[in-house]
């Protein structure tokens, strides 16, 4: 053991990355006693040296192994939070988190020749085990069932806010055992961001906490891509340097488009590389990475038959950005046919703002529609991942502080769902209909997307968002042709508009 643990502690946090370390500091500031443990002992000891100089030092301990830490947990309501990288549910059905919880192999330390028992074999009855990684909801649902069978209390908690949020207060989305939340909810709520109350609440059984988190991340993908496309369109259509656009984005950050992502976009526009003096955005390579949560959102939506085109477009944009060498080669041979610019600058900027705001509305609408569909799924469907117990307004409230998608738009969204909890889609809420039905707003959004197309500039999320609004508000779509085609080549049948019943078929002789 590294140092002597004194007395009892409220929780153990396993995983001392930046997020884990800051979460420990956060809990300690709230008055809780925390033990930090990491797979590599060297990292644990490095953290111990640094934290002992901080004001929270008296409430923070460290241990080399979970075996050494667990006996110091309080008898009732103690918790172990795991903040380690989750596994890929497709390629690794049982990855690091399962090993830590059930097998123990992840805790074979590089610098110690010692096999450590699995967490389930270590913790006493009444201890709450919390998976705070970006886990897939179906994995979390399975773990919840296995924990329940073993008699353990388990929560799968989505956490959003990055390193800064972990330190000062993230949004926390816990799901799983309701009894577990009754024991540790107060502790989690104290460490969460505060915005009209704690941005933490029990969301439902099984993997619901992580489902809410991946939907959050899908919305995040969509808004980030829309912001990037607006920046890129304004920069290259108006021939502006990034710093010249910063005042505009700062104005948007204080306006109705405001939110954390708009704020950091404005910051990035003003940054310069110290070494070269160039705009920081020109130094950053144009290949966007991803951890997989946006992909999970789209996959989950596909399984439920819920359209999320803004989120999927953002995912596709990241995928194509990764083809850097291919794109560079194609740019030298595949020319964009563009029409002369002749842009009304003031009108173009106003159009860009409306296109961004419309896309933000669409991204949130798709996310909440996905959560609503998941809540309607029978128990056991799609891995039994979700049983949403928190209403949509409550979800919006969770996201109002601490998390990456916190924005001004969440306040009217929360009010909308409070007025009508059964609303099928945000697009048809009176306050959003007023915006979307405004003629000038529509002309601006369509005009900006059209202008970007004319100039050959990226418009993935902005265009997909507009198409979502158009398709959702169209009484008769082109799907009649699709069904006719399906029946013509595969005898799949179709429904008629003029009579009841199914499985009508074409007569090729007609």
Domain boundaries in the chain? Answer: 11-206, 215-472
Closest residue by Cα to residue 117 from 42, 66, 41: 66
Q: Are 406 and 171 in contact (CB under 8 A)?
A: yes
Provide CB contacts within 8 A for 295, sequence distance 6+. Answer: 315
pLDDT for the residue 108 = 47
Q: Pairing state of beta strands 60-62 and 79-82?
A: unpaired
Q: Give dist(CA 483, CA 112) in Å, integer.
A: 63
Measured distance CA(502)–CA(506) in Å, rounded: 13
pLDDT reported for residue 383: 44
Give the pLDDT confidence score for residue 488 in this predicted structure. 86
* Residues labelled catalytic: 213, 220
CA distance 134 to 85: 7
In terms of phi and psi (left: phi > 0; alpha: psi -120 to 50; beta: otherwise), the region of 503 is left
Q: For residue 432, what are its two tokens? A: 């959003």
Distance CA 37, CA 104 (A): 14
CATH superfamily of 11-206: NAD(P)-binding Rossmann-like Domain (3.40.50.720)
User: CATH assignment of 215-472, given 3.40.50.1370, 1.20.1050.10, 1.10.1040.10, 3.40.50.300?
Assistant: 1.10.1040.10
- Token representation of residue 28: 């300690």
Identify any residues that bridge with 238 across adjacent strands, giving them in sequence order: none
Question: Which two structure tokens, joined as six digits, stand for 43?
Answer: 């990292």
Question: What's 99's DSSP letter?
Answer: I
Q: Which helix (H) or strand (E) is 7 found in, with range?
A: none
pLDDT given at position 93: 56
Residue 264 C-beta-side C-alpha neighbours within 13 Å: 10
Taking alpha carbons only, the member of 232, 157, 243, 159 closest to residue 202 is 157
Beta strands 204-206 and 128-131, pairing class: unpaired
First to last CA, the chain: 84
Q: At what angle do helices 345-376 and 309-321 cross, to 10 degrees?
A: 110
> What per-residue confidence (pLDDT) applies to 228?
97
Per-residue pLDDT of the chain (510 residues; tens, 9 = 90+): 445 688 899 999 999 999 999 999 999 999 999 999 998 899 999 999 999 999 999 999 999 999 999 999 998 889 999 998 776 655 555 678 888 888 875 544 455 545 668 899 899 888 999 999 999 888 899 999 999 999 899 999 999 999 999 999 999 999 999 999 999 999 999 999 999 899 999 999 999 999 999 999 999 999 999 999 999 999 999 999 999 999 999 999 999 999 999 999 999 999 999 999 999 999 998 887 766 677 899 998 999 999 999 999 999 999 999 999 999 999 898 877 776 678 999 999 999 999 999 999 999 999 999 999 987 765 554 445 668 889 999 999 999 999 999 999 999 999 999 999 999 999 999 999 999 999 999 999 999 999 999 999 999 999 999 999 999 999 999 989 988 898 888 888 888 888 888 788 888 765
């Amino acid at each position: 053991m590294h140092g002597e643990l004194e007395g009892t502690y409220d929780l153990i946090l396993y995983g001392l990355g930046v997020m884990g370390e800051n979460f420990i500091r956060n809990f300690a500031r709230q008055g809780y006693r925390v033990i930090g443990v990491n797979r590599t002992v060297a990292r644990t000891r490095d953290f111990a040296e640094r934290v002992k100089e901080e004001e929270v030092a008296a409430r923070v301990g460290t241990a080399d192994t979970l075996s050494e830490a667990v006996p110091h947990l309080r008898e009732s309501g103690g918790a172990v939070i795991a903040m380690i990288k989750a596994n890929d549910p497709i390629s690794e059905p049982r990855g690091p988190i399962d090993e830590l919880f059930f097998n123990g192999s992840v805790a074979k330390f590089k610098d110690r020749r010692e096999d450590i028992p699995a967490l389930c074999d270590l913790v006493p009855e009444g201890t709450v085990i919390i998976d705070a990684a970006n886990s897939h909801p179906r994995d979390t649902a399975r773990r919840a069932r296995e924990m329940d069978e073993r008699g353990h209390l388990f929560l799968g908690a989505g956490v959003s806010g990055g390193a800064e949020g972990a330190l000062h207060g993230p949004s926390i989305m816990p799901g799983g055992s309701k009894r577990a939340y009754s024991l540790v909810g107060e502790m989690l709520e104290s460490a969460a961001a505060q915005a009209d109350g704690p941005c933490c609440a029990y969301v439902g059984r099984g993997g619901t906490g992580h489902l809410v988190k991946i939907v959050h991340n899908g919305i995040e993908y969509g808004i980030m891509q829309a912001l990037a496309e607006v920046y890129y369109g304004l920069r290259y259509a108006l021939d502006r340097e990034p710093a010249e656009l910063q005042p505009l984005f700062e104005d948007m950050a204080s306006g109705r488009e405001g939110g954390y992502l708009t704020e950091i976009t404005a910051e990035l526009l003003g940054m310069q590389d110290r070494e070269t003096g160039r705009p920081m955005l020109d130094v950053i390579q144009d290949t966007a990475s991803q951890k997989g949560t946006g992909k999970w959102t789209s996959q989950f939506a596909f399984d439920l038959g819920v359209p999320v085109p803004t989120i999927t477009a953002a995912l596709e944009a990241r995928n194509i950005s990764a083809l850097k060498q291919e794109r560079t080669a194609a740019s030298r041979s595949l020319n964009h046919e563009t029409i002369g610019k002749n842009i009304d600058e003031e009108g173009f900027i106003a159009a860009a703002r409306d296109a961004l705001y419309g896309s933000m509305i669409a991204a949130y609408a798709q996310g909440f529609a996905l959560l609503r569909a998941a809540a309607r799924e029978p128990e056991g469907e799609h891995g039994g991942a979700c049983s949403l117990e928190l209403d949509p307004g409550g979800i919006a409230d969770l996201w109002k502080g601490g998390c990456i998608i916190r924005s001004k738009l969440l306040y009217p969204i929360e009010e909308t769902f409070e007025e009508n909890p059964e609303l099928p889609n945000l697009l048809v809420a009176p306050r959003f209909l007023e915006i979307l039905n405004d003629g000038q707003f529509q002309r601006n959004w369509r005009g900006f997307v059209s202008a970007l197309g004319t100039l050959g500039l990226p418009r993935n999320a902005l265009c997909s968002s507009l198409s979502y609004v158009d398709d959702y508000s169209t009484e008769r779509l082109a799907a009649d042709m699709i069904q006719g085609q399906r029946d013509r080549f595969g005898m799949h049948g179709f429904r008629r508009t003029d009579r009841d019943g199914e499985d009508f078929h074409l007569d090729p002789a007609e």
